[in-house]
């Protein structure tokens, strides 16, 4: 893995810990993602990832695949 970057993504529509688990699971399946911290209280995800393997759009796509809208912060 090359240099890892950390970025936050705003997530719209999470309402419970099941949502957090769903988003966390979806992000952990993305190649290049090194660490994930999803906060229900702040409606965001902090993601450490390798930009050579995945970009911000790929992270947003994974969150959307879990059923939520998202955008980079």
For 5-72, CATH number? 3.30.70.100
Tell me the per-residue pLDDT of 17-56, one tens digit each, with 9 for 90 and over: 999 999 999 999 999 999 999 999 999 999 999 999 999 9
Confidence at residue 55, expressed as pLDDT on a 0 to 100 scale: 96
Domain-by-domain residue ranges, the chain?
5-72
Does pLDDT of 69 surpass 60? yes
3-state SS string for 25-73: HHHHCCCCEEEEEEECCCCEEEEEECCCCCCHHHHHHHHHHCCCEEEEC
């Amino acid at each position: 893995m090359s240099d890892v970057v950390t970025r936050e993504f705003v997530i719209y529509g999470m309402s419970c810990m099941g949502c957090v688990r769903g988003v966390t699971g979806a992000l952990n399946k993305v190649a290049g993602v090194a660490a994930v911290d999803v906060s229900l209280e702040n409606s965001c995800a902090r993601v450490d990832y390798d930009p050579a393997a995945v970009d911000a759009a790929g992270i947003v796509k994974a969150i959307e695949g879990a059923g939520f809208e998202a955008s980079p912060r």
